[in-house]
Structure 1
Amino acid sequence: MTTTTASTVRHGRTGLARQLSALGVERGGVLLVHASMRAVGPVSGGVRVVVGALRDALGHHGTLVVPSFTPENSDTSAHYLDRVRGLTDRAREALRASMPPFDPATSAAPSMGLLSETVRLTGGALRSDHPQTSFTALGPLAQQVVAGHRPDCHLGEDSPLARLYELRAGVLMLGTGFDTCTAFHLGEYRVPSPPRRAYRCVVRAGGRRRWWEYEDVALDDSDFAVLGADFARSGGGTLVRTGPVGSSASRLLELAEAVDFAARRLPSYRTGAVRTDRPHPLG
């Protein structure tokens, strides 16, 4: 009896760039990327090759943007609450005391995934200053994207999301679902009188580590998967392009269209049901 083992396909930079272009990634454009390297599958050369393919598809005049969020330095985030569940008061305080202050030059963003971290560490990349929801950009419009990110505005008008809206950026969900579509959060800010809540994180001020508490819109991504499915069906199903990138099923859409859809639809989704006390993964 003969046993045949299927060979594992390893994706390369040229093929990935070709797939990205076929999906609709435009040369010279601005692109916000959420990625699952596991979904992309094995790549010859690893994650750096995927970053290279994205830059190839965008061309020299294109700008690549990724989230570099840091829920790890907040004690109001779902990430923190998961870490301290079951700990004693003493152990919890020891954990809080060990949490480093945010530094845009050095703070890692491990929960954002390997591709985002690789972009953050690429020479020439620029990062916004928000201690919880920073973005990293790479390309000629990077400074325009990340500048002026107010520390009390996670993902609203004084954040890179609003700059991406103005730049008519695309959003690529590279093997990820609509639950990761950060663009929808800008829609949360644009609904009438959005609910607000308190956030707290570790920062450095005057050379000293300190806890900082501030108020901002109550972020809630619990309905983004449903919102995204409705968005994909709207416009006769033409607003979201789908196709393979590596081994992944990926989606490409226009950020402004997603934001406008969220701003219109979220009030009807959440009437009487907004949970302002629900910890968000980010803060």
Structure 2
Amino acid sequence: MPTPPPTGPLVTRDTVAAQLRLLGVESGETLLVHSSLSSLGWVNGGAVAVVRGLLDALGPRGTLVVPTQTGDLSDPALWSDPPVPEQWWDRIRATMPPYDPLITPSRGVGVIPETVRTWPGALRSAHPQTSFAALGPGAADIVEGHAPDCRLGERSPLARLERLAARVLLLGAGYGSCTAFHLAEYRIPSPRVTVGRPAPGGGWETVTEVSITSDRFDELGYDFERDRPVVRGEVGAAPTRLFPVADAVAYAQRWLALHRSRAEEPPPSGDPAPARRRRGPRT
């Protein structure tokens, strides 16, 4: 069978920058981007072109921030997609490489964040499971001080982004990927869990954390978009949304307190990858 021709639209670096400007992205602002490369269309230059387009739209004074989560640095007892044999668990815990912000690849967040992570000059936060990477003059202020026992709360880059009046850009990604909503979970009564992961110096460690989950974030996002001003448009073929981090957090704090019953509270799993089911290491 012949390979089918690519489907459009044709997207270039200039396309991305121009359409982001039309959407309302401003030169000099700070932008937290959740993205899906495949949703854009046929991108000439792939993720590199998209990152260049984002940086063009933000200009030299702007700062680009992306999630660079590493949820596979977690307890193998929680892996379910796929699971691993129970007899392997102790050996996996004993030999799992510790997090290194310079070389540990991101996982499950897409190729665009991984491209940002490896970009010259990029800085990355220190949390071993829910890190963020940033490019631009504000990068250091955003990623420094990410506490090892605060995945997405007050001592994480999310709280810094809120204070800096940053905005969220959902570039072909849905509200289920919106990490800003997780900051709200730290501001309402939430259960705490024990989270296991490789220790910085080798071996295994556990920390106590707020239990978080992205369950019902799509529903939350639907209501947020209905009730609050969200800029909507397209970049290439990707549905795109733009809104302030602070607005999303404040709305989510009220919504979750009202809609999340005790029965719907996050399970005490310690799953470090709140936006997706736990997966074992890929090859």
Instruction: Calculate the TM-score normalised by the size of structure 1.
Output: 0.90
Change (3 A) 1:266 1:42: same
Give 1:198's aligned residue: 194
Give 2:49's aligned residue: 49
Task: Return the letter of the residue paired with 1:282.
Answer: A
Q: Which consecutive residues of structure 1, in runs of 5 or more, have no partner in the other structure?
A: none
In 2, Cα distance between equivalents of 1:6 and 1:151: 44
> By how many angstroms is 1:249 displaced?
0.8
> By how many angstroms is 1:94 displaced?
3.9
Task: Return the letter of the residue paired with 1:81.
Answer: S
**Aligned pairs for 1:87-126 within 5 A:** 87=85, 89-126=86-123
Task: Return the letter of the residue paired with 1:275.
Answer: P
Give 1:39's aligned residue: 39
Task: Return the letter of the residue paired with 2:82.
Answer: R
Change (3 A) 1:7 1:252: closer
Instruction: Judge conservation of contact 1:71–1:132 (CA < 8 Å) in 2.
Output: yes
Name the SS of the counterpart of 1:194 in structure 2. coil
In 2, Cα distance between equivalents of 1:184 and 1:25: 21
Give 1:254's aligned residue: 244
Give 2:277's aligned residue: none
Change (3 A) 1:271 1:245: same
Instruction: Calculate the TM-score normalised by the size of structure 2.
Output: 0.90
Percentage identity across paired residues of the two chains: 44
> By how many angstroms is 1:218 displaced?
0.5
Measured against aligned partners, the alpha-carbon deviations of 1:100-131 in whole angstroms (never above 9, x if no partner) come to 11111111013111000000000000001001
Give 1:216's aligned residue: 209
> By how many angstroms is 1:77 displaced?
8.2
Give 1:84's aligned residue: 83
Task: Return the letter of the residue paired with 1:232.
Answer: E
In 2, Cα distance between equivalents of 1:26 and 1:77: 45
In 2, Cα distance between equivalents of 1:263 and 1:242: 23
Q: How many residues of Structure 1 are paired with residues of Structure 2 in the alignment? A: 269
Instruction: Judge conservation of contact 2:162–2:245 (CA < 8 Å) in 1.
Output: yes
> After TM superposition, which residue ranges in structure 1, 4 or more long, deviate above 6 angstroms?
none
Q: Which consecutive residues of structure 2, in runs of 5 or more, have no partner in the other structure?
A: 275-283
In 2, Cα distance between equivalents of 1:146 and 1:6: 38
Asked whether 1:185 is paired with 2:182, we answer: yes
In 2, Cα distance between equivalents of 1:63 and 1:24: 15
Asked whether 1:16 is paired with 2:16, we answer: yes
In 1, Cα distance between equivalents of 2:9 and 2:130: 36
Q: Which structure has the greater CA radius of gyration?
A: 1
Instruction: Judge conservation of contact 2:8–2:41 (CA < 8 Å) in 1.
Output: no
Change (3 A) 1:228 1:76: farther
Give 1:271's aligned residue: 261
Higher helix residue share: 1
